[in-house]
A and B are shown apart, each in its own frame.
Chain A
Amino acid sequence: MEEAADTVPPSLRRSSLPGWPRASEPELVRHYTWLSQRNFGIDTGFYPLGSCTMKHNPRINERIVQLPGIDRIHPLQPEHQIQGLLAIFYEMQEMLEICAGMDQVTLQPVAGAQGEFTAIRCIQEYHRSNGENHRDKVIVPDSAHGTNPASAAMCGYDIIEIPSAEDGRIDLDALRAAVGEDTAAMMITNPSTLGIFEPEIAEAAEIVHTAGGQMYYDGANFNAILGKTDPGRMGFDAVHYNLHKTFSQPHGGGGPGSGPIGVKSHLAEFLPSPLVDRQEVEDGGATGDGYRYFWKTPENTIGKVQQWHGNAGAVVRAWAFYRRYGRELELMSEHAVLNANYLRHQIMNPDSETLAGIEVMPVDGAPTDVVKHEFTLSMQPLKESTGVTGKDVAKRLLDYGYMSPTLYFPMIVPECLMIEPTETESREVLDKFADDFLAILAEDPELVSTAPHSTDVRRVDEVWAARNLILRHPGSE
């Protein structure tokens, strides 16, 4: 076949080859092994990164996605050639519907933010179909993830940010003042980014619905409540799931994720295309379960948000994770919440004066002073007494072999550290972390504020990076 090689005419040909070095396999294996050793993952140590749900990633999932029945599949193959894949998609749609109390799920969005965007697009088309184009505002609490307002803005909406009440919960009076004829939707996560369950969520939904708006559930914190309650019961119309948080798709240094959405029936006709459906067949079907699976297009679909069917590989991993628990998924949430409360208790109830250095958002109204899957600590008192900031504490934790908690988010908590241990950490790890955390608060402030000391590089100059903008190797330029 080589003689036919020169079929691209000279006028279209590249004048010079790109210039990166070729390296041999042994050199590259060593290079990337070395790089991996300079990178911290859940496998390396405790990763209490709030709102990111850094749980263990079961290895069977990685083995499964190497099977040719997923790795070597084209998304446009005829349906009868991919019945096994469609069966898994169907099972996942149905499972996610049940877990969130929704009527229809699409697996197409490939990240949480894309799920938000997709759902807000569906809500936009819903309002348009009702002749309500004038609804041009989306309401978000000030504690919301940044993707919420960004996703709504990408659909063309104006954002109304409402302040949280002093205890970090939703301020219903502020919500009442914000809703109106122009309300398209409210986006909110529950439990909130403070790890606090909103007890008045049903009332909030009522306020938004009465004004003619739709309720959107940011599923980033779904790990806290699975099997205990669901967004459907709380009054939500649409929800996204983070398969890379709740369902153990590895975070991979920033992705891939997967952000399916579920909606109530009135929004289902607008979902992206295609969905998976099935029909009973006499011959048992290709997978032997008695069904033939097929793609179907929602009646008034918004079309596509990803060019194929979403991150199928992530869906298959999440399927394997789900199968591990089945109906016992509730156990997963119980342990996530148990671990969060236990760690918070270990940090907040020491027989130690270091407690003065921490402030926790008050949780009132609950008989047992509980949080859900995560909690926030304010390092403000510590900063005032010693000058040590939340960032300093976070950097010092790296010296102890931990990943830092989420830093300075939510923004409503001064000097905030947000901690989410997940269900896959043992009590011993939590005890040790609490001890080390409290030890840091008692350390020489100079030592803490110049941390880290034992990492591959010392504190990195981010301002220098932004000033000099060296964004690639200079090569032979």
Chain B
Amino acid sequence: MYVALCENSCNEHSRASQFCLGRQEAGCEDLDQLPNLGREQEMLESMGLQSMDDLFSDIPEEVRRTDPLPLRGPQSEEEIWADAQHLLGANVDLDSRPSFLAAGLARNFVPTMVPMLATRGEFLTSYTPYQPEVSQGMLQAMWEFQTMVSELVGLPVSNVSMYDASTAAAEAITCAVRVKGRKATQKGVVYVSQFVPPHRLSVIENYSQGGSIELRTLEHGEDGRINLEAAAAAAGACAVYVEQPNAFGNLDEGVMKLKEIIGENTALIVGVDAVSLGIVEAPGNYGADIVVGEGQPFGIGPTAGGPIYGLFACQKDYLRLMPGRIVGKTIDEDGKDAFTLTLSTREQHIRRHRATSNICSNETLIALMGAMHMSLLGPEGLERLALRVAAATETTKQAVCAIPGVELVNPDTPNFREFTVKLPRDAGEAIAHMDEEGVLGGLDLGEWWDSMSKCLLIGCDERTSQSDIDALTSALSSWIEEMSP
């Protein structure tokens, strides 16, 4: 075997070189991705063909490309690595400075074991486990993932991931409309919290184009909490979507009372910070029908926003109309325990335009990373992680709010991971100033809502250190002092 491989690779190099002599451009001798490079002719001839062109003779001339692609030349792996280091090295990464930008993602620490094991080729290079007999590994891992998500949010059913928190929220809404549509007295109506980030609302709006869905706003009061009196208007609608914590990082006890107010015939959908559930009540325990959220804090870095993964869990009565893949335990022909994808008749490859969703590719590999991370934490580790984030949030909040001229938004509600402050002038200016001092100070909420241009959203995590906080307060103070006369 070894000898055969060795001969093969030696020959390959000479084959490749020979073939490349015939090509117009130099450089493709580094092409090491094509095992049959250099022996095209023998393969063609064995089929009775003369040239590669014969293989494309079915493409009519009027649509055929005759000129080469106007692109750069091929590169070797070595050159690609150098360019990747150069280009990605030009980015400022979150770990290189005090960073307080969260806004739905976490500057987490991922245990080394996670990427090393998840990128084992057997996991990394497998397709959706449609052949369970040779896919028990990923199927079992996803079944374990479903178990952990179910435990985390307090609901019996979980799928094996959505694309992200926003698409999970959007598809939770369309799912709830399918389930509750008939009994709802407000046909197609869904109430969405006023304090959902606008990019998420935009995803929800796009996904609500089919199925005659009408989105209405669930109002919050002056103190930032949900207006429970106004929420009574949502009784009889198909669903209510709220987030805990909300876009400003506030935790609201009102969310826990919503189910009683809206009643059995209206679905309560709660979007969560997954880490917060180490200390904050699981929504399944206060009547949530569907829980969604961003899984990213477990398993993968912020990765410029993707790939990340959405959590989707629900009560059993949503099971047959929910989106996404589900793994079930079963038996094989010999009665032995086995796992398989189940309830596929909901899905697009079977049900086509009557499917519950168009989702096909999901984020399985990232969910696998999440499962590994959650397993390593265990419930107590999760609680400790959540406490660390809560502590960092509180310490940072107190330090920032001690700066004269800085005002805490929604001061009477507790925060998790994030809090919002109002500044004397535009938050965008503050961020630019802090940037010059080497601090990533948070998010200018004016980018989300015009009326909040003076508001800064500050995000913390388990890695926020006292020196980070000192750098933040120093940079923010110097900006405020600079503009005082």
CB atoms of B69 and A98 under 8 A apart: yes
**Inter-chain contacts of B133 with A (CB < 8 A):** 395, 398, 452, 455-460
CB atoms of B395 and A1 under 8 A apart: yes
Given A37-B122, A73-B304 in contact, is the A457-B342 Cβ separation under 8 Å? no
Give Cα A14 to B74, complex, Å: 56
**Inter-chain contacts of B88 with A (CB < 8 A):** 64, 67-70, 84-85, 88, 316
CB-contact partner of A306 in B46, B91, B203, under 8 A? B203
User: Which B residues between 425 and 452 are near A, CB-CB below 8 angstroms?
Assistant: 431-432, 435, 440, 443
CB-contact partner of B33 in A72, A229, A324, under 8 A? A324
CB atoms of A460 and B147 under 8 A apart: no
User: Which A residues between 344 and 359 are near B, CB-CB below 8 angstroms?
Assistant: 345
CB atoms of B101 and A253 under 8 A apart: no
**Inter-chain contacts of A229 with B (CB < 8 A):** 59, 63-65
Interface string of A146-189 (1 = CB under 8 A from B): 11011111111101000000000000000000000000000000
Give Cα A40 to B395, complex, Å: 48
CB atoms of B391 and A254 under 8 A apart: no
CB atoms of A326 and B63 under 8 A apart: no
Given contacts A18-B379, A398-B134, A471-B329, 8 further A-B contacts (CB under 8 A): A1-B388, A4-B394, A17-B383, A19-B379, A37-B137, A83-B91, A154-B209, A426-B35
CB-contact partner of A227 in B65, B144, B156, under 8 A? B65
- B148 shortest CB reach to chain A, Å: 5
Interface string of B370-387 (1 = CB under 8 A from A): 001011111111110001
**Inter-chain contacts of A13 with B (CB < 8 A):** 279-281
**Inter-chain contacts of B174 with A (CB < 8 A):** 154
B484 at the interface (CB under 8 A from A): no
Give Cα A450 to B332, complex, Å: 12
> Interface segment, B103-111, B214-222, B261-269?
B103-111
B166 at the interface (CB under 8 A from A): yes
**Inter-chain contacts of B355 with A (CB < 8 A):** 146, 150, 153
**Inter-chain contacts of B301 with A (CB < 8 A):** 71-72
CB atoms of A327 and B87 under 8 A apart: no
**Inter-chain contacts of A68 with B (CB < 8 A):** 88, 93, 95-96
CB-contact partner of B60 in A65, A202, A327, under 8 A? A202
- A189 shortest CB reach to chain B, Å: 14
The contact sample of 25 A-B pairs, CB cut-off 8 A, is A12-B251, A14-B281, A18-B152, A62-B119, A67-B89, A69-B89, A98-B71, A117-B358, A228-B59, A250-B125, A251-B126, A307-B305, A312-B305, A325-B33, A327-B25, A328-B31, A338-B52, A342-B47, A368-B54, A459-B333, A468-B328, A469-B342, A471-B158, A473-B147, A475-B147
CB atoms of A146 and B378 under 8 A apart: no
CB atoms of A87 and B210 under 8 A apart: no
**Inter-chain contacts of B27 with A (CB < 8 A):** 326, 328
A57 at the interface (CB under 8 A from B): yes
CB atoms of B302 and A75 under 8 A apart: yes
A393 at the interface (CB under 8 A from B): no
User: Which B residues between 34 and 54 are near A, CB-CB below 8 angstroms?
Assistant: 34-37, 39-40, 43-44, 46-47, 49, 52, 54
CB atoms of A324 and B391 under 8 A apart: no
User: Which B residues between 130 and 149 are near A, CB-CB below 8 angstroms?
Assistant: 130-138, 140-144, 146-148
Give Cα A57 to B393, complex, Å: 41
CB atoms of B379 and A60 under 8 A apart: no
CB-contact partner of A197 in B59, B152, B351, B466, under 8 A? B59
B485 at the interface (CB under 8 A from A): no
Give Cα A212 to B200, complex, Å: 33
Give Cα A112 to B361, complex, Å: 7
CB atoms of A153 and B210 under 8 A apart: yes
B182 at the interface (CB under 8 A from A): no
Q: Which residue of B85, B251, B353, B376 has the most chain A CB atoms within 10 A of its CB atom?
A: B353
Interface size, chain B (Cβ < 8 Å): 207
Interface string of A328-341 (1 = CB under 8 A from B): 11111011011101
Give Cα A306 to B359, complex, Å: 13
Instruction: Kindly report which residue of chain A lies nearest to residue B355, judged by CB atoms.
Output: A150
Interface string of A287-330 (1 = CB under 8 A from B): 11000000000000011111111111110100010011111111
CB atoms of B304 and A337 under 8 A apart: no
**Inter-chain contacts of A41 with B (CB < 8 A):** 121-126
Give Cα A276 to B161, complex, Å: 28
Given A314-B307, A473-B144 in contact, is the A33-B84 Cβ separation under 8 Å? no
A465 at the interface (CB under 8 A from B): yes
The tally of CB-CB contacts under 8 A between chains A and B is 684
CB-contact partner of B209 in A3, A36, A67, A156, under 8 A? A156
**Inter-chain contacts of B415 with A (CB < 8 A):** 7
Interface string of A432-449 (1 = CB under 8 A from B): 000000000000000000
- B316 shortest CB reach to chain A, Å: 8
Given A326-B75, A327-B25 in contact, is the A424-B65 Cβ separation under 8 Å? no
Instruction: Kindly report which residue of chain B lies nearest to residue A159, judged by CB atoms.
Output: B353
- B89 shortest CB reach to chain A, Å: 6
Give Cα A459 to B368, complex, Å: 25
CB atoms of B124 and A52 under 8 A apart: no
B354 at the interface (CB under 8 A from A): yes
**Inter-chain contacts of B120 with A (CB < 8 A):** 32-33, 36
CB atoms of B391 and A2 under 8 A apart: yes
Given A233-B63, A314-B306 in contact, is the A75-B105 Cβ separation under 8 Å? yes
CB-contact partner of A464 in B91, B92, B327, B331, under 8 A? B331
Give Cα A337 to B131, complex, Å: 26
B411 at the interface (CB under 8 A from A): no
CB atoms of B200 and A307 under 8 A apart: yes
CB atoms of B166 and A327 under 8 A apart: no
CB atoms of A345 and B46 under 8 A apart: yes
Shortest 4 CB-CB contacts between residues of A and residues of B: A22-B378, A308-B305, A69-B88, A252-B365
CB atoms of A253 and B127 under 8 A apart: yes
